Amino acid sequence: MARIRVKVHPGARTTRLAGRLGDAYKLDVAAPPVAGQANEACIRFFAGLAGVPRAQVRILTGAASRAKLVEIEGVTQEALQHKLP
């Protein structure tokens, strides 16, 4: 299982990793921060990046914050690092 710290910026034009911010990655998401839409976009993005089902990705901390800790089951930390820019 892998974990990644992200700083989510909702309301962007596209959903993409936009670089590093200290020990976290900046994730731009097109979804607005309403009714969990930005969280769902974050989960979908990392599921696609890691090649795992959405059910294997969860937000451990920060569900109501822009700073999040995301856990991805079915992929190692090293494998995830190779897929990140």
If one counts every other C-beta atom within 10 angstroms of the C-beta of residue 4, the result is 21
Q: What angle do CA 85, 4, 53 make, to 5 degrees?
A: 90
Residue 82: predicted pLDDT: 93
Residue 4 to residue 70: CA distance in whole angstroms: 5
Residue 72 to residue 30: CA distance in whole angstroms: 21
- For the 2-83 domain, the top CATH level (class) is alpha beta
What tens-digit pLDDT sequence spans the chain (85 residues)? 999 999 999 999 999 999 999 999 999 999 999 999 999 999 999 999 999 999 999 999 999 999 999 999 999 999 999 999 8
Q: Is 16 exposed, middle or buried (0-12, 13-18, 19+ CB in 10 A)?
A: middle
Residue 85: predicted pLDDT: 82
